[in-house]
Amino acid sequence: MGKVRLVALVTGELAGSRALCINANLAPEQLEKRHLLPFGYTKEVRWSDGSVSDGVLKPVPIWYIETPDARIVVDTGFHDAEGITEMRMRQGMPSYMRRPPEWEVPAALATVGVRPEDIDIVILTHLHYDHCGSNALFTRARFYAHQAEIPLALAPPPWAQHYLADHADHLIDIRDRLYPLGDVETIVPGVWTWRAGGHTPGSIIVMVECDKGPVAIMGDVMHDYVNLDNWWPGPGNNFWNLDELLSAYARVRREARIILPGHDWKLWKLFPGGRVLP
């Protein structure tokens, strides 16, 4: 196959709460000793309700893929930090979100020499607010999301975490260019998807073929390198179906040469500038 380019671009930052330590039933010091503390851990997250606690700072990436056949973006980040914060506060959920000007989606894409209107295809790993909020910027793109995600994004029940009723417009606005995915789909030669589930009913893994072997873009099926290094779903990840999540971990371990978690600043340490391929 021809040359493939894959770059992780930062488009924002959010925070996970102290619950990550409670879920593991260990104090932060114990987590660190056992190498179970995510890379972005900090003792001072300032939440939107004015409280301060420890937590994990997490990047919100989009993924730029360039093949001989198409310019592709995986996920589109959140719409705007203030708007999402207001939506979550109405649900009684304090948050931490930020996006300085250099992380705006057009500015992030400019670092790889493209504009949102240059993108041919957008693949959405799932439809939580921080993965599909900037859809409207991609005015020429064909969109793909798994068919199980679409009802939850359009009319989320109150128990479906991180699907926001006020956020449905970001899907409705591109409905004439949205193509529902089945469980295994080829997008273009060398880029294909499979339904992992686990994190959400329709969470997909995006596979990119290259000379080094298959690369797996995990979305939120695998949040961070703690998940990858220990092959377990905690402490920073929430899940819809634990059996599916663990099955997905086993599958990527068998099939992928490079595995890219969805929300870990460590990725930019391992791949300077976010440049995974070439």
| Alpha-carbon torsion (76, 82, 87, 89), positive or negative | positive
- Which amino acid is residue 97, in one-letter code? M
The predicted pLDDT at position 38 comes to 77
- Which amino acid is residue 116, in one-letter code? P
* 247: helix, strand or coil: helix
Q: What is the pLDDT of residues 3-22, one digit of tens each?
A: 999 999 999 999 987 555 44
H-type helices in 137-241, by residue range? 150-154, 169-172, 225-230
The predicted pLDDT at position 77 comes to 96
The predicted pLDDT at position 20 comes to 54
- Alpha-carbon distance of 157 to 154, in angstroms, equals 10
Q: How far apart are the two ends of the chain, measured CA to CA in Å? A: 13
State which H helix or E strand residue 143 sits in. strand 142-146
- Alpha-carbon distance of 242 to 220, in angstroms, equals 13
Q: What is the pLDDT of residues 26-64, one digit of tens each?
A: 666 766 666 667 788 888 899 999 899 888 899 999 999
DSSP code at position 133: T
| Alpha-carbon torsion (57, 267, 59, 145), positive or negative | negative
Give me the long-range contacts of 39-46 (CB less than 8 A, separation at least 24): 39/224, 39/225, 39/264, 39/265, 39/266, 39/269, 40/264, 40/265, 45/15, 45/17, 45/96, 46/96
| Alpha-carbon torsion (27, 28, 33, 36), positive or negative | positive
The predicted pLDDT at position 22 comes to 47
**Segments of the chain scoring below 50 in pLDDT:** 21-22
The token duo for 9 is 């671009």
- Alpha-carbon distance of 275 to 262, in angstroms, equals 15
Cα separations in angstroms, 45 against 26, 37, 221: 19, 16, 24
CATH number of 5-270: 3.60.15.10
DSSP code at position 213: -
| 76 in Cβ contact with 135 (< 8 Å) | yes
Cα separations in angstroms, 72 against 4, 33, 140, 250: 11, 40, 11, 27
